[in-house]
Amino acid sequence: MRMLSVSETDLQTAASALVAGKLVALPTETVYGLGANAYDPVALARVFEAKCRPTFDPLIVHIADLATLDKIADFSLLASAAASFAHALAARLWPGPLTLILPKKAIIPDLATSGLPTVAVRFPAHPVALWLIALSTGAVAAPSANPFGYISPTDAQHVADTLGDRIDFIVDGGPCEVGVESTVLDLTSPVPTILRPGGMPRECIEAVIGPVSVLTSKPDSESGPVSAAAVSPGLLTSHYAPRAPLELFPYGSLPRERVAEPGIALLFFDGQSRDRFFRGFEGPPESLVSAGRQLEQPISKVLSEEGNPVEAAARLFKILHELDGLKVTGILAERVPAGGLGDAINDRLFKARSAAR
Ligand code: TXA
Ligand code: MG
């Protein structure tokens, strides 16, 4: 693997590699993607191989202009209301963290869509991604650039650490601004349906096309995998998991008695919640004394000191990567307030739970 910069020469190198069927990890505004020429079945096969991704889990095709949308999506197979939704969303919310599921044209190999008659299309809002797509073939298939089931990468080093020996190039465009993957919206169902909450809040989609339904992996239940996985295989509940087992609790309810466990880490939404938690230990804390010795303070992380969901989303995967690097033995995390990007954060925390594995 060679790390590339965003210089013109390096971007040319990366674009030529894509044309030649090689694998290039590239920055997008959400997470780093593992890019391959979307029209080249052999390159696509290499993506599945590098990620150890099952071939029943389809890829997102990234475009850099609307002409390509018509080239790969078959609007004649779409109900007219859905077609106008697609055009309105493309006009208002692209480029951005929104992926649309649309009927596919034959030019997209079946491997990209895992044999489904639909294709996932996204127009990313990152200048480097747009350059690379436009300079190469105009359509770049890119799943998140992580081994299947592991946390998505939000900087180039995350990619190098986990996939470095299996891919050709990484283009280092710095940290990703949004930090969680795109929202996946199915426009082929009778009612537009969010298959994966993500960087584009539901409220912004509804402001353009009216009410949508949401297929969730039931963040409020303990029921484990649900049928959502069959509709969009990426909704498998064991996604985005750090190596350390993660347990999820309601906001403000991390269990105080568990801090004595060696190597345990605490993950709070905001500084207020963390302060409330530790205030319980003022004075010589009984529960921090075990077998006659004072335990160290547990490792604690806060997604956003101020409780800003945008910042929390941007930092979520980075913090999970850090905790894995610290080799913690377990992570106790709290849910964040619902709505906006909070829904995407809670979805990823839910999927990272060890109980679902
Ligand atoms: O933000 C993102 O979306 C990132 C960046 C790199 O663009 N990409 C990403 O790709 O998250 P990936 O492969 O990790 O997730 C794609 C999701 C999966 O849940 C997959 O099952 C779903 O999109 N998907 C792809 N094609 C589909 C289709 N035709 N029908 C239903 N779901 C589909
Ligand atoms: Mg992924």
How far away, in angstroms, is 33 Cα from ligand 2 center? 9
Nearest-CA residue for atom 17 of ligand 1: 234
Q: What is the pTM of this model?
A: 0.91
Counting Cα atoms < 13 Å in the Cβ hemisphere of 164 gives 11
Ligand 1 centre to CA of 297 (Å) is 39
The whole-number pLDDT of residue 216 equals 67
Give φ, ψ of 201 to 5 degrees.
-60, 145
Distance 271 CA to ligand 1 centre (A): 33
**How many Cβ atoms sit within 10 Å of the Cβ of residue 231?**
15
Atom number in ligand 1 closest to CA 116: 29
Which ligand is the nearest neighbour of the Cα of 118? 1
What was the pLDDT predicted at 279? 86
Please, which residues have CB within 8 angstroms of residue 338's CB and are 6 or more apart in sequence? 346
Q: How far apart are CA 87 and CA 90, in angstroms?
A: 5
**How many angstroms separate the alpha carbon of residue 35 from the centre of ligand 1?**
13
What distance in Å separates the CA atoms of residue 277 and residue 99, rounded to the nearest whole number?
38
Task: Determine the Cα–Cα distance for residues 181 and 195; give it in Å rounded to an integer.
Answer: 12
* Mutate which of 34, 184, 238 for ligand 1 pocket (most atoms within 8 A of beta carbon): 184
Q: Give the model's pLDDT for residue 292.
A: 45
Ligand index nearest the alpha carbon of residue 30:
1
Question: What does the pLDDT read at residue 217?
Answer: 59
pLDDT per position as a tens digit, 228-260: 555 665 565 556 688 899 999 999 999 998 988
| Whether residue 124 has a cis bond before it, omega within 30° of 0 | no
Helix, coil or strand: residue 341: helix
Helix (H, G, I), strand (E, B) or coil at 16: helix
- Determine the atom of ligand 1 nearest the C-alpha atom of 99: 3
- Which ligand has the nearest atom to the CA of 27? 1
Give the count of beta carbons closer than 10 Å to the beta carbon of residue 149. 16
What is the model's pLDDT at position 242?
Answer: 86
* Interval between CA 185 and ligand 1 midpoint (Å): 10
Which ligand lies nearest to the CA atom of residue 28 in the structure? 1
Q: 3-class SS at 333?
A: strand
Q: CB within 8 A of 331, min separation 6: which ones?
A: 242, 244, 245, 246, 247, 264, 265, 266, 267, 320, 323
**Is the CB of 126 within 6 Å of ligand 1?**
no
Ligand 1 within 6 A of 217 CB? no
Q: In sequence order, which ranges of the chain are alpha helices (DSSP H)?
A: 8-19, 41-51, 66-72, 80-93, 127-135, 156-163, 202-209, 228-231, 271-279, 309-325, 341-352
Q: What is the pLDDT of residue 104?
A: 98
Test site for ligand 1: of 193, 232, 236, 348, most ligand atoms within 8 A of the Cβ: 232
118 lines ligand 1 (CB under 6 A): yes
Could you say which residues of the chain have pLDDT below 50?
Answer: 219-227, 284, 290-293, 355-357
Instruction: Identify the pLDDT of residue 228.
Output: 52
Q: Is 196 in the pocket of ligand 1 (CB under 6 A)?
A: yes
